[in-house]
Structure 1
């Protein structure tokens, strides 16, 4: 991509050292991380809360960046303007009032506008994004399409797996991923779209075949001013950038997104797509009939429990139908899905149910425990913590939701990050104690998460269900800036083996799925 063309398209002003008017080398890549610059890259030096990206320009320019996109404040930074490559005219400076806002469009241009050659299916909402994208991917594969996947647990390119750092990658990384997907003959890309990504323009420059909305409940109020600000960020996906829009209207937030052309889904009322004859089975499976436009019906079987997964599946059906996927492939694909860390069973022959789930917000905790209650006749035992350096207001609400819906709540640590874990647990316990004694089960505190999981298993009896909630697929626990290896699935399995008197699993037998989540993680 030639510098002048790039600047013209994004509306940036090009600066070069006096006496150096000749065009610089063309841009062949883009990044906003100085340490990841390769020769030929555009380095996006963005303003931040504490530092400015231009302060790291020396590393980027020494590594071969041929252009820098920044604002006027960045231009004034000595690390940039005094670098020999800038003074000698070997680097072009692209100046824009909102460099982050145009970075997505710039990255799309540099990587050949890959989303125009793909059908990107974007899913936003508080809960259900990951499950919905896995449902989409399975149905698309059943239909024989080449697929990619972008989300919290992992990124997949035509079956090859990559770790995910963010739910939705930064704009240059996203466009690079999409370009590689084009090279690998991918045609459909289910993608989770976080509120952070929308608010921070990470998906600017991305064309969506379908934009979809699951639900909204309290979360991320450490980033958003309030629920209305959170909603408005999600609503950006429905500003006309998607060819089709599919919205679950089971909440007031979804109803606000409906326009004349919107495809609606609902488990409880009239909509373009609705569900009847829902039947849940003790195995956790469930079936229902989906009713769509022109009297279309689909008979759906899911391995995933809970009413919220009926809503997720119905949303997936609406997306897939809008994208032109045949009915038979949708039915087959949805029946084959298990989602890592989402009501994921750990079954080693014990006489009670044990599951790991990613629920880390009040609404999700309530929904998961209601689903757990419907699966068993015995007690509901839940292990739950809250993440540090995140929305503090949700902690007592999560404690309250768990205490109200369980016979035993074990409050423990999640990812305390830089906070004192005891303070986080205290906030959760305060919420739990607000529930009248007659309306809640026992509540105990065990800070060590491994010990908390073991205690839950020790207390389980035939017919009970143990729910280890909060971390789901994650394979690390962040404490005081250090990420220690930790998997709820592996710890739950280890506790079950000990309970059953089985030998410990050897390290080489362990199936570790990487992925530590992002700003939309716990």
Structure 2
């Protein structure tokens, strides 16, 4: 039905339909965002990680939190992995989840807010209080028709939040929240928080916000036990991998400080933080076999380079075996060859496979990735393999792995579905497939 509707109606008409659903959802669920402190997270990368980290910190200091992200839907301790293959789910979904948060006593909602969702009006009638920009660089270009259009959509999100009606700070859901100081004004200040290392930071602060905050992580040291970094002259430690996560955590710290939370409480929370599912996730079952497996969401060159920065810290004793492909559906075709070249240069064995082809020919996508791999010096049949079925590619990687090796499986992370031809989705989880083949290898 969805495919037929898309063929019949032009995009502008469909967007009006999205607008209607957003309005009707807000009415149907009694304007739920008015009863929550709503924090929006946007940016090119790191959105879901920031949400995952922020949720943990806010819960540590006593808030009841709900969150909606690419990774999961979370409401006051109840978590469901996102199986929608969509971040801002349409129709009434967001408003329905906000109402569920209110019903169980949440006082904070964190909403991953995307540029595509913005263009489809999925943010409308959500009264945000704070908006955060994680970073901004060229990505999702084909979906927007160029970087300037992409940036314009992100700026539009900030403009929208700056114009949201202020909420009264003496409302029950605010006064019940721990850590928020009594405010002189009667309304909650609208707050914009941006990555200070972005060259576009000032553009995003050029709207009518009461609070305008830049964050930046300094003196970042990535070690085998975690991250040391400095934010506003305060030293922090987080037991997670990825130097880029220091920047994500700096954004989290900025949000929590804007709520006047005690500094020592923040440090305690950060020191116990855990990574999101499918983000630099180690599969423990592999350690019994003497090798390591990391499943990660990285699907474009910048994120893949950040993952290899983590590999440099881990320093595996053996080979690096990497399984990945590139997404179909017209999503930034230009990145396919660079992915092949980067992974070809960094890995010892490269297995190119299928990865959400949508209606594209998966073999053609793989061939485009192979062009880059061949340019890196890889030789097909020796250290480069083309395996169409992703499950078989993962099996091959596990079979090739020896003690001391590191297997990287990237592109999907904890995603629960794979998008294939005809608008169909099949159940999927890279992590469970890895575990299955490790278990089978033990029996041999």
TM-score range relative to shorter protein: 0.7 to 0.9
- Higher relative CO (Cα under 8 Å, sequence separation at least 6) belongs to 2
1:434 corresponds to 2:375 = yes
Stretch deviating more after TM superposition (171-180 or 128-137): 171-180
CA distance in 2 between counterparts of 1:377 and 1:478 reads 33
CA distance in 2 between counterparts of 1:168 and 1:230 reads 17
Contact kept in structure 2, 1:385 and 1:412, CA below 8 Å: yes
CA distance in 2 between counterparts of 1:257 and 1:443 reads 44
1:414 to 355, 360, 365: 355
Contact kept in structure 2, 1:275 and 1:291, CA below 8 Å: yes
For 1:178, the equivalent position in structure 2 comes to: 98
CA distance in 2 between counterparts of 1:275 and 1:445 reads 41
Contact kept in structure 2, 1:139 and 1:331, CA below 8 Å: no
What secondary structure sits across from 1:250 in the alignment?
Answer: coil
1:385 to 325, 336, 342: 325
CA distance in 2 between counterparts of 1:424 and 1:466 reads 22
CA distance in 2 between counterparts of 1:436 and 1:228 reads 35
Q: How does 1:130-149 map to 2 (within 5 A)?
A: 130-149=48-67
What secondary structure sits across from 1:223 in the alignment?
Answer: helix
The alpha-carbon distance between structure 1 residues 209 and 49, as it changes in their structure 2 partners (threshold 3 A), is same
The alpha-carbon distance between structure 1 residues 323 and 221, as it changes in their structure 2 partners (threshold 3 A), is same
Contact kept in structure 2, 1:219 and 1:394, CA below 8 Å: no
Q: How does 1:131-280 map to 2 (within 5 A)?
A: 131-162=49-80, 164=82, 165=84, 166-170=86-90, 172-239=92-159, 241-242=161-162, 243-254=190-201, 256-259=203-206, 262-266=212-216, 274-276=217-219, 278-280=221-223
What secondary structure sits across from 2:7 in the alignment?
Answer: coil
1:373 CA drift (Å):
2.7
Stretch deviating more after TM superposition (454-463 or 342-351): 454-463
2:429 to 478, 482, 487: 487
For 2:173, the equivalent position in structure 1 comes to: none
Contact kept in structure 2, 1:218 and 1:362, CA below 8 Å: no
CA RMSD of aligned residues (A): 2.9
Q: Number of aligned residue pairs: give it.
A: 402
For 1:453, the equivalent position in structure 2 comes to: 394
What secondary structure sits across from 2:434 in the alignment?
Answer: helix
Contact kept in structure 2, 1:306 and 1:367, CA below 8 Å: yes
1:176-208 Cα offsets, whole Å, 9 max, x none, are 221221122111112211111112111112122
For 2:283, the equivalent position in structure 1 comes to: 346
Contact kept in structure 2, 1:412 and 1:448, CA below 8 Å: yes
1:309 corresponds to 2:245 = yes
Higher helix share: 2
Stretch deviating more after TM superposition (485-494 or 370-379): 370-379
1:130 CA drift (Å):
1.0
CA distance in 2 between counterparts of 1:400 and 1:218 reads 19
The alpha-carbon distance between structure 1 residues 413 and 255, as it changes in their structure 2 partners (threshold 3 A), is farther
Contact kept in structure 2, 1:209 and 1:323, CA below 8 Å: no
What secondary structure sits across from 2:95 in the alignment?
Answer: helix
1:286 corresponds to 2:226 = yes
For 1:401, the equivalent position in structure 2 comes to: 342
Contact kept in structure 1, 2:53 and 2:252, CA below 8 Å: yes
Contact kept in structure 1, 2:378 and 2:384, CA below 8 Å: no
Which entry has the higher C-alpha Rg, 1 or 2? 1
What secondary structure sits across from 1:263 in the alignment?
Answer: strand
1:332 corresponds to 2:332 = no
1:330 CA drift (Å):
2.7
CA distance in 2 between counterparts of 1:287 and 1:321 reads 20
Contact kept in structure 1, 2:344 and 2:378, CA below 8 Å: no
Stretch deviating more after TM superposition (165-174 or 119-128): 165-174
Q: How does 1:21-40 map to 2 (within 5 A)?
A: none
Q: Gaps spanning 5+ residues in structure 1: where?
A: 1-32, 35-46, 54-70, 75-96, 267-273, 504-522
CA distance in 2 between counterparts of 1:112 and 1:485 reads 34
CA distance in 2 between counterparts of 1:384 and 1:190 reads 31
1:145 CA drift (Å):
1.1
1:468 to 405, 409, 433: 409
